[in-house]
């Protein structure tokens, strides 16, 4: 699997590459945002690891350019760990966020989780997948990751698709935030207290949902979320 690391810290890039290559990853590196954005959108990648703080074209701008052309999974790195950085990155379409104090094992675990939910790595005990889930006018294709509402194809990030698929599989039942984190992120997301809520918010907008009177995603206060059939 091909990974692209975009980070001006050449030493860190090399350390990450040296760790991931024996794990079966083909790792390429770019050390400035301009070249990184060009390669990210012109070549096929399983995922991209992107630093926030880079001179010139920073990680947020690179992410904007990527999301204008691609839904490739993006994990962002930050040396500051400020909440505002995490919020901006998630709103721009980042799928995960990792402070630069990470351990190699944590990076690998999060990367594998990201690749699992985007279909690059199979689950350890796969079940026969249902090709398409249909809920009212909403159609979710498990194999192609296509989501269609009525006659409109929705453009979802990998994280949004993972959340929608998890809720759809539990159609009618409430999923807690912890269950969604476990199924979609496969890790403790305690540094992202608002991450699930933020992804749900952007997902609702794409579904045309009013959170006060939702057609699809209902908030069960103090517990989690529930996917409903409109009109029922």
User: Is 232 among the domain residues?
Assistant: no
Q: How many domains does the structure of the chain reveal?
A: 2
Domain boundary among 55, 90, 117: 117
Per-residue model confidence as pLDDT tens digits over 165-198: 989 888 878 888 777 877 776 444 444 456 788 8
97 and 11 co-located in one domain: yes
Domain of 54 in residue numbering reads as 2-117
111 and 139 co-located in one domain: no
207 and 145 co-located in one domain: yes
Query: Does the pLDDT of residue 123 top 70, yes or no?
Result: no
**Residue 180 vs residue 225, higher pLDDT:** 225
Query: Does the pLDDT of residue 1 top 50, yes or no?
Result: yes
6 and 112 co-located in one domain: yes
User: Is 127 among the domain residues?
Assistant: no
Per-residue model confidence as pLDDT tens digits over 196-207: 888 889 999 999
User: Is 122 among the domain residues?
Assistant: no
**Strand arrangement of the beta sheet that strand 74-78 belongs to:** 26-30, 2-6, 47-51, 74-78, 96-99
In terms of Cα–Cα distance, which of 174, 162, 160 is closest to 205?
A: 160
Averaged pLDDT score across all residues of the chain: 82
DSSP 115-158: HHHTTSS--SS--PPPSEEEETTEEEETTT--EEETTEEE---H
User: Is 123 among the domain residues?
Assistant: no
> Which CATH number covers residue 177?
1.10.10.10
Quote the strand ranges of the chain, DSSP E: 2-6, 26-30, 47-51, 74-78, 96-99, 132-135, 138-141, 147-149, 152-154, 174-176, 217-220, 224-227
DSSP, collapsed to helix, strand or coil, labels residue 181 as helix
Q: Which two tokens stand for residue 131?
A: 């090709």
Which residue in this structure is represented by tokens 């809520």? 197
């Amino acid at each position: 699997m091909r990974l692209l690391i975009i980070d001006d810290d050449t030493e860190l890039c090399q350390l990450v590459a040296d760790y991931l290559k024996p794990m079966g990853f083909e790792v390429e590196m770019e050390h400035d945002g301009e070249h990184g954005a060009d390669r990210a959108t012109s070549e096929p990648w399983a995922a991209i690891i992107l630093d926030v703080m880079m001179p010139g074209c920073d990680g947020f701008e690179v992410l904007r350019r990527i999301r204008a052309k691609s839904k490739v999974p993006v994990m962002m790195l930050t040396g500051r760990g400020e909440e505002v950085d995490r919020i901006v990155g998630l709103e721009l379409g980042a799928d995960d966020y990792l402070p630069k104090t990470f351990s190699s094992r944590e990076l690998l675990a999060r990367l594998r989780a990201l690749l699992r939910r985007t279909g690059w790595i199979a689950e350890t005990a796969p079940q026969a997948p249902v090709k398409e889930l249909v809920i009212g006018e909403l159609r979710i294709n498990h194999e192609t990751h296509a989501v269609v509402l009525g006659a409109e194809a929705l453009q979802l990030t990998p994280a949004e698709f993972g959340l929608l698929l998890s809720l759809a599989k539990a159609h009618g039942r409430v999923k807690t935030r912890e269950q969604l984190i476990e199924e979609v992120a496969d890790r403790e997301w305690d540094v992202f207290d608002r991450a699930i809520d933020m992804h749900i918010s952007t997902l609702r907008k794409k579904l045309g949902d009013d959170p006060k009177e939702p057609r699809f995603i209902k908030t069960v206060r103090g517990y989690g979320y529930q996917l409903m059939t409109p009109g029922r």
